[in-house]
């Protein structure tokens, strides 16, 4: 932690009680002048501090940002999020993460922003990333796995984010294969998993995560209002985005480790328990054809198995899925 983060952690831990400048200076072994400079810097980032005479400083308001200073004190991880690149604005966290990964960024590096000017979703679609309302982040992970295992990591991520949302809000999203999280049938989260690999080893997997958190219905373009929702719209309450980021990293680390140590089976069971795809009749739009049938499960490789009306079973690696009534 930096000194600024240490001071912030102390202020938060004091829960509305004052902490004296002298106490902070003693604990960090730095001068009171330096303490004062760090407090000014926090105020510039939007933290509101009250100075109480002869008692010290009280933290009155935490700004609604997802900066390194906000996230670090909330982390419960060993590796994920221990390096954070924060941008008030950027084009796409996924682009920055891909470049940073090539330059050797460590396992667990988090790239996060308040607003993306050209956020990307699957299949080169644009992703609406409105300012300060959602979570727009990319995590670089470097698991020691073979490239054919990489698609399973999309499913690991989906389970981790579902758990994080459930534990923080009580709302339980459903997973739509491969990587959309829905609440009441509307999309609340998208995951874009990208890969740098040779044929022997994965060099890095970059998990791009977009969560609609505090948007109101009018935050969305008319074109997506009927299919998108946010956690605030579903729960009625404003969510602390930094806390949700920390929870996502916690479960991502937990389930990644589970996957590397125990294989795909436990993840598969969790994924299936949250899935709204399995057992349903679906239409799958593939690169070159469209198939209709019943989704009967996912394989050990993370491939969706579809039973066509002819009885033939087809493995789907990549497709757009629509649930259909019949």
Nearer to its own copies, 88 or 263 (CB): 263
Give the footprint of its own copies on this chain (CB under 8 A).
98-99, 102, 122-123, 144, 146-148, 150-151, 154, 178-179, 192-201, 287, 301, 317-318
Residue 176, annotated as binding a ligand: no
Residue 174, SS3? strand
Q: How far is CA 173 from CA 41, 169, 179, 211, in A?
A: 38, 10, 12, 12
Alpha carbon 217 to its chain centroid, in Å, reads 21
- Give 49's DSSP letter: E
Residue 145 CB, nearest approach to its own copies (Å)? 9
Nearer to its own copies, 103 or 222 (CB): 103
Nearer to its own copies, 135 or 319 (CB): 319
The neighbour count for residue 10, using CB atoms within 10 Å, is 17
Here the tokens at position 74 are 């909330």
Phi, psi at residue 205, to the nearest 5°?
-115, 135
Q: How far is CA 226 from CA 128, 188, 222, 251, in A?
A: 14, 12, 8, 30
Residue 104 CB, nearest approach to its own copies (Å)? 12
Here the tokens at position 157 are 């991520």
Beta carbons within 8 Å of 288's beta carbon, 6+ residues apart: none
Nearer to its own copies, 157 or 230 (CB): 157
Task: State the Cα angle at 6 between 3 and 9, rounded to 5°.
Answer: 155
Residue 121, annotated as binding a ligand: yes
Nearer to its own copies, 154 or 214 (CB): 154
- Give 215's DSSP letter: -
Residue 236 CB, nearest approach to its own copies (Å)? 34
CA–CA dist 99, 119 (Å, integer): 16
Residue 122, annotated as binding a ligand: yes
Residue 76 CB, nearest approach to its own copies (Å)? 28
Residue 194 CB, nearest approach to its own copies (Å)? 5
Nearer to its own copies, 70 or 120 (CB): 120
Residue 252 CB, nearest approach to its own copies (Å)? 16
Strands 202-212 and 134-141: antiparallel
Residues that constitute the known binding site for biotin: 116, 120-122, 187
Residues that constitute the known binding site: 116, 120-122, 187
């Amino acid at each position: 932690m930096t000194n600024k983060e240490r001071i912030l952690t102390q202020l938060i831990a004091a829960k509305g009680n004052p902490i004296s400048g002298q106490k902070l200076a003693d604990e960090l072994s730095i001068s009171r002048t330096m303490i004062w400079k760090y407090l000014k810097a926090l105020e510039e980032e939007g933290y509101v501090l009250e100075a109480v005479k002869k008692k010290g400083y009280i933290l009155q308001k935490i700004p609604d940002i997802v900066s390194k200073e906000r996230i670090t004190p909330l982390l419960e991880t060993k590796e994920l999020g221990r390096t954070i690149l924060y941008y008030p604005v950027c084009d796409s966290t996924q682009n920055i993460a891909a470049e940073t990964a090539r330059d050797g960024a460590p396992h667990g590096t988090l790239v996060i922003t308040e607003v993306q000017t050209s956020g990307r979703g699957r299949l080169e679609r644009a992703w609406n990333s409105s300012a300060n309302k959602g979570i727009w982040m990319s995590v670089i992970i470097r698991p020691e796995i073979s490239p054919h295992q990489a698609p399973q990591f999309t499913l690991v991520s989906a389970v981790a984010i579902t758990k994080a949302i459930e534990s923080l809000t009580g709302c339980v999203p459903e997973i739509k294969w491969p990587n959309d999280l829905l609440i009441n049938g509307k999309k609340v989260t998208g995951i874009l998993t990208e890969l740098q690999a040779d044929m022997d080893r994965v060099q890095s997997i970059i998990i791009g995560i977009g969560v609609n958190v505090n948007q109101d219905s009018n935050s969305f373009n008319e074109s997506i209002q009927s299919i998108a929702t946010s956690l605030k719209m579903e729960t009625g309450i404003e969510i602390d985005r930094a806390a949700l980021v920390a929870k996502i990293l916690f479960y991502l680390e937990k389930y990644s480790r589970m996957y590397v140590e125990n294989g795909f089976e436990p993840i598969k069971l969790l994924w299936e328990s949250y899935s709204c795809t399995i057992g349903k009749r679906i239409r799958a739009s593939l690169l070159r054809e469209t198939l209709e049938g019943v989704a009967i499960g996912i394989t050990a490789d993370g491939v969706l198995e579809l039973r066509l009306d002819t009885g033939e079973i087809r493995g789907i690696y990549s497709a757009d899925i629509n649930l259909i009534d019949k």
